[in-house]
Structure 1
Amino acid sequence: MEYENLHLKYKQPTIKGRYLNLGMITPILNAMNTNNQLQILGNSVQGRPIYKYEIGHGATKILMWSQMHGNESTTTKGLLDFMNMLQDASEITTKILQQYTFCIVPMLNPDGAEVYTRVNANEVDLNRDFQNLSQAESQLLMQCYRDFKPNFCFNLHDQRTIFGVGTTGKPATVSFLAPSYDETKAYDAARLSAVDVIMKMVNVLQRFIPGQIGRFDDGFNINCVGDTFQALKTPTILIEAGHFPEDYEREITRKYIFIALISAVYSDSEEALLKDELSNYRSIPQNIPNFFDLIYKNVAINYDNSINMTNFAIQYREELINATIIFNAYITKIGELDGFYGHQEFDCEGMQYSDNNCNFPKLDDKADFSLNNKVKFVNGLVKK
């Protein structure tokens, strides 16, 4: 299957970048509503509609939701591209819709999406609310789950640029998890079914991003939606969209989310799953927070009239300004950086640090500085 060509064909052209709110996706959803597939589940805390989209007539029912954290939009983009494909009367789509029925909630937290925050309007993390069910959005997803009675659930998220694939030095571009259903982290039939689906996706994605697939931590928390649904014996798959080199807008990662979703429900080969997929799943390196956005090594600093050598790292903060996400660079760590990697790294070769305030980097300072009063860095990068 020509996965990348499929994405070029079905990519929604009106959405891109990191900021995605309800107003941007509503026209897309309305255009897809060709046969009453689109319904309003209910409303968010601030009264925004939360939509569900149902399509297909197959016996296997899949519930998918995205952007329960309002600042995690990559999987929403990939999901909308996938939904666009499901609209087409192609041979692939016909087969998928004969086998599956989808119930898709593309934006569970429209209030958080509006202001680009993880939490909802009541400052509650919806992914920690599935025992209390204190929030309108959590209640709506749980009611949808009970009414639809899915055979599988797909829980779609973004993860930060800090995550690498184990200690390989490669970023975790896409990560997966079959959540635990209790503290033992054992594998029952439902969790093994989730593993099988994950391995279908992993086996395809390894063709495109070899070594850039991680396994999310499976620490049990019954308050999380995935753990709750897994405990209710519904195979649940967590997908985390992460960083691809230089892809801060996550348009490349978006493509891999689209490919993952197709490969979960359609195979272009007749090969059966391997018998020991659990072993293969557990061999996927776990995510480790061992990346910074930028690292500077071998920097000279003048401290108390003495020249010392150090290293420092910066992390971008994503800040919503005029409906655009701005990546502002701040100094995050100073000193020993063994075991850490940078998405970009600079060997400063003993050049001396200075900024407008002092002669050494400080935590939480904006990353605007000079080396040898000659090479100027603005927002962490060399000013050209």
Structure 2
Amino acid sequence: MKYILSSILLVITATVFAQNINFTSQLYKEYDKYKVEEFSTRRLKHSDIQPFIKRLRLDKKYIVKHVGSSIEGRAINLISIGSGSVDVFLWSQMHGDETTATQAIFDIFNFLDSDEFKAEKAEILSKLTLHFLPMLNPDGAEVFQRRNALGIDVNRDALRLQSPEGQILKRVRDSLDADFGFNLHDQSRYYNAERTSKPATVSYLAPAYNYEKDINDVRGNAMKVIVFMNTIIQQYAKGQVGRYNDDFEPRAFGDNIQKWGTSAILIESGGYKNDQEKQEIRKLNYVSILSAIYVIANENYKKISIEDYEKIPQNDRKLFDLKLTEVTYNLLDKNYVLDLGINYTEKDVDEHVNYYNVGRIIDQGDLSTFYGYDDFNAKGYTIVEGKVYPEIFANVKDLNSQKVNELLKSGYTYVRVSDLKDSKKYTQLPIHIISEDFKVPEFRIGVGVNPTFILKKNDAVNYAVINGFLINLNNTNKVFKNALILKD
């Protein structure tokens, strides 16, 4: 009997997906038609979205309401469209540096304004009323930081409501009493799908509403929608979906919104190889959110079993930007074999609209249970301290890629430049640039250290690690972000 019921559920679920698959596949295929071209990086500010909100105010399809202001006085708006009896509430960027879904929301507005998909949009907008609250924390967005101007995490302000941003979210949620709520975030790119080397590119969660993690109809409906979204995203990022930890957090908005009767769905945008600005993940957000909205509108989510929710792998945090495996390191005249896990920390520049990377060793030793976006088996390679080139260059312009490659092959990882007064803190050249008087720190390999060294095998230098980036010295088409410019 149990087998028969499971088979019936499987057939029903498959039918639901088949009915929606054409729509969702077209969403992905035709995404570029609707992408807001003005948005191309993660550093999105309040001023960047205002021209688009102004246009929506002039469109009679939308109702744009000023629902409050941030601590520093930036306007927070609720944008609504549709005439249906089911209310769906979506809010983004309650953490100021989590912009992926905000960009996707404005892509969705372009989709809603288009002439395509008329039947699907008619069904969505006749059965649902969609409410978008993009960029809840504009003060944090201004300086690209998680917390608001008060220095608190807005997502931990659901009980005390100390911040105006938290008060706005609570007031809007209560006024709408929405049936579904989408809590849109970014998570660290270092999360992976449990027990795999694949990044958790998108992670979902139906938050618990109590410590016991009970499942009622409200939470169950969120789980059903997540099962559907997971199946859709697996087509484009196979194995790269995770399930966020569901331990109850009594201060968190997602947990409380579930508790208050809105089926809350958390979407976390993680990492994707060679997608530092999360533009592919933005596309997946767009597809995921619109697919969910459509399955809510046609009520097909009700036919989905929640059994598959628990089958989504949990998030784990075992990814590095670069993992070097079995590299030899000489310490006190004795050779040791280590794995190195290296990550890149972003340092904001240009009024928080750009950044450069500083590499750090995060862990070392036996990292056999960890993974890397880039994973290099360095067995047989020995770490060799990089040298300072004895000649002093007049300025950075005297260096070029070919010259730098020759220096690296000769074991040099630093060059001195006399004129650095107008230079930035970083260079796209794959070698550190230092001032005439800069003293290079004593070389060592350790957690927290900037990884800069030569990799030598059989007396040949074919690889270098500069600022944590692995450089193949025989590949002139190598991709490199930046080295550092260091002055006294």
TM-score of the aligned structures, taking structure 2 as reference length: 0.75
2:32 aligned partner: 8
Q: CA deviation at 1:276?
A: 6.1
Residues in 2 aligned to 1:86 and 1:325: alpha-carbon distance in whole angstroms: 33
Please say if 1:46 is aligned against 2:72. Answer: yes
2:436 aligned partner: none
1:364 aligned partner: 448
Please say if 1:339 is aligned against 2:369. Answer: yes
2:155 aligned partner: 127
SS of equivalent to 2:30? helix
TM-superposition CA deviations, 1:261-297 (whole Å, max 9, x none): 1110225998955856221001111001111111111
Q: CA deviation at 1:56?
A: 0.9
Please say if 1:87 is aligned against 2:120. Answer: no
Q: CA deviation at 1:347?
A: 1.5
Please say if 1:348 is aligned against 2:378. Answer: yes
Give the stretch that moved more between structures: 130-139 or 33-42: 33-42
What pairs with 1:232-251 in structure 2 (closer than 5 Å)? 232-251=260-279
Identity %: 33
Residues in 1 aligned to 2:30 and 2:166: alpha-carbon distance in whole angstroms: 33
SS of equivalent to 1:184? coil
Instruction: Answer yes or no: is the 8 Å Cα contact 1:370–1:377 preserved in 2.
Output: yes
TM-superposition CA deviations, 1:140-180 (whole Å, max 9, x none): 11111111221111000001111111102211111100000
SS of equivalent to 1:317? strand
What pairs with 1:61-210 in structure 2 (closer than 5 Å)? 61-90=87-116, 91=118, 92-210=120-238
Structure number with higher relative contact order (C-alpha < 8 Å, ≥ 6 residues apart):
1
Please say if 1:300 is aligned against 2:328. Answer: yes
Instruction: Answer yes or no: is the 8 Å Cα contact 2:179–2:261 preserved in 1.
Output: no
SS of equivalent to 2:106? helix
Instruction: Answer yes or no: is the 8 Å Cα contact 1:302–1:360 preserved in 2.
Output: no
Q: CA deviation at 1:377?
A: 2.1
1:26 aligned partner: 50
Please say if 1:382 is aligned against 2:412. Answer: no
TM-superposition CA deviations, 1:218-241 (whole Å, max 9, x none): 000110000011111211000001
TM-superposition CA deviations, 1:330-349 (whole Å, max 9, x none): 11111110211101111222
Residues in 2 aligned to 1:298 and 1:279: alpha-carbon distance in whole angstroms: 41
TM-superposition CA deviations, 1:87-146 (whole Å, max 9, x none): 235413222111111111110000101111110011100011100100010001111111
SS of equivalent to 1:37? strand
* Residues 300 and 156 of structure 1, relative CA distance in 2, 3 Å threshold: same
Q: Which 5+ residue runs of structure 1 have no aligned equivalent?
A: none
Q: Which 5+ residue runs of structure 2 have no aligned equivalent?
A: 1-22, 387-439, 474-488
Q: CA deviation at 1:216?
A: 0.5
* Residues 273 and 120 of structure 1, relative CA distance in 2, 3 Å threshold: closer
Give the stretch that moved more between structures: 227-236 or 195-204: 195-204
* Residues 326 and 58 of structure 1, relative CA distance in 2, 3 Å threshold: farther
Consecutive aligned runs of 4 or more in structure 1 exceeding 3 Å deviation: 267-276, 355-360
Q: CA deviation at 1:359?
A: 4.8
Please say if 1:213 is aligned against 2:213. Answer: no
Residues in 1 aligned to 2:181 and 2:295: alpha-carbon distance in whole angstroms: 19
* Residues 328 and 283 of structure 1, relative CA distance in 2, 3 Å threshold: same
TM-score of the aligned structures, taking structure 1 as reference length: 0.95
* Residues 86 and 184 of structure 1, relative CA distance in 2, 3 Å threshold: same
* Residues 308 and 157 of structure 1, relative CA distance in 2, 3 Å threshold: same
Q: Say how many residue pairs are matched.
A: 384
Instruction: Answer yes or no: is the 8 Å Cα contact 1:129–1:225 preserved in 2.
Output: yes
Instruction: Answer yes or no: is the 8 Å Cα contact 1:162–1:289 preserved in 2.
Output: yes
Instruction: Answer yes or no: is the 8 Å Cα contact 1:85–1:93 preserved in 2.
Output: no
Instruction: Answer yes or no: is the 8 Å Cα contact 1:301–1:359 preserved in 2.
Output: no
Residues in 2 aligned to 1:229 and 1:128: alpha-carbon distance in whole angstroms: 12
Give the stretch that moved more between structures: 180-189 or 19-28: 19-28
SS of equivalent to 1:219? coil
Q: CA deviation at 1:83?
A: 2.1
Instruction: Answer yes or no: is the 8 Å Cα contact 2:64–2:78 preserved in 1.
Output: yes
Q: CA deviation at 1:369?
A: 2.3
* Residues 331 and 78 of structure 1, relative CA distance in 2, 3 Å threshold: same
Query: RMSD of the alignment, in Å?
Result: 2.0
Give the stretch that moved more between structures: 307-316 or 29-38: 29-38
Q: CA deviation at 1:198?
A: 1.1
Give the counterpart letter for 2:32 in structure 1: L
Residues in 1 aligned to 2:115 and 2:169: alpha-carbon distance in whole angstroms: 29
Residues in 2 aligned to 1:270 and 1:238: alpha-carbon distance in whole angstroms: 21
